[in-house]
Chain A
Amino acid sequence: MEEKKSQAVIEVTESGPLRITGTFILKDMKTGNETRLSEIWLCRCGKSANKPYCDMSHKVR
């Protein structure tokens, strides 16, 4: 059987957000919203005012 192809790239940026590119469906379990996207940056520091998205708060002291 052929090796399955990678559908998306999940990149843990250094001291920054999680960057996801490719073919994926984002589901926000809090709101139930489901979106098909090709690129997204998700907050990893816990400080974003716009969770789950990154708003660059990790750079603010």
Chain B
Amino acid sequence: MENTSSSRDERKYRNEEITVYWKPSACVHASYCYRELIEVFDPGRRPWVDMKGSTTEKIIETVNLCPTEALSWKWNDEEKNKVISKDQYNHINFRRPELMDKSDNGIIENPVSVKVMSDGPIVIKGDFTLLYDGNKKEIRESLISICRCGASGHLPFCDGQHRKIGFTG
């Protein structure tokens, strides 16, 4: 995927420690940010993000709640971006890999393919570990299909029920 972020669809807000990225086109107005921290994220204000409104810690916590890639963040000190724990959901390493410092990105040979089928299941292909109901399965060069509509009689797997219930999404 090429990096196509134009200044039009990308805003940056900084304090001394972090940069928060906002991608308006990805925002679905889930409202987690301003319900959590209106002092910083106030849709009625221009600019709507005020990095002086709270602490860095609280801002990171709130950005991590965003369910889309609309809000993401990074440390201004690039060294600190190299060790980010997995619970920092919206750190750019996880949410916006295209924004990352490319200097030491290794080439990945066999990424797993995760396809979200239109109005259907999630189809996962490749070499991966599957955890469900306390089971652990090692899948190699194979494919599974996970229900996305919630109506399968064979959860977590897809059984084609999405068609009968007219699932869209």
Q: Contact residues of A with B, CB < 8 Å?
A: 3-12, 18, 20-30, 34-56
State in angstroms the CA–CA spacing of A30 and B94 once bound together.
22
C-alpha gap A10/B127 in the complex (Å):
11
CB-CB under 8 A from A43, the residues of chain B are 148, 169
Residues of B within 8 Å of A35, CB to CB, are 1, 97
Contact assessment for A10 and B124 in the assembled complex, using a CB-CB cutoff below 8 Å: yes
Which listed segment binds A: B49-57, B73-81, B128-136?
B128-136
Which B residues contact A (CB, under 8 angstroms)?
A: 1, 28, 30, 67-68, 86, 89, 93-95, 97, 108, 110-119, 122, 124, 126-133, 138, 140-141, 144, 146-151, 156, 167, 169
Are A25 and B111 neighbours in the complex by a CB distance under 8 Å?
A: yes
Q: Which residues of A contact B114 (CB under 8 A)?
A: 20, 24-27, 40, 42
User: Does A25 contact B113, Cβ atoms closer than 8 Å?
Assistant: yes
Task: Give Cα distance in the complex from A10 to B157, angstroms.
Answer: 13
A53-B68 CB under 8 A given contacts A12-B146, A25-B111: yes
Residues of chain A within 8 A of B144, CB atoms compared: 10
Given A52-B169, A55-B67 in contact, is the A23-B130 Cβ separation under 8 Å?
Answer: no
Q: Are A46 and B138 in contact (CB under 8 A)?
A: no
CA distance A55 to B27 in the complex (A): 12
Rounded to whole Å, the gap between the CB of B33 and the closest CB of chain A is: 13
Cα distance A1–B155 when bound, in Å?
34
Complex contact A53–B111 (CB within 8 A): no
Complex: A44 Cα to B140 Cα, angstroms: 23
CA distance A52 to B156 in the complex (A): 16
User: Within the complex, which residue of B113, B128, B141 is in contact with A9, where a contact is CB–CB below 8 Å?
Assistant: B128
How long is the Cα–Cα vector from A11 to B146 in the complex, in angstroms? 11
Across the interface, do A38 and B97 meet the contact criterion of CB distance under 8 Å? yes
Q: Is the CB of A29 within 8 A of B116?
A: yes
Task: List chain A residues, Cβ under 8 A from B89.
Answer: 39, 41
A18 engages B122 (CB within 8 Å): yes
Contacts of A48 in B (CB 8 A): 67, 169
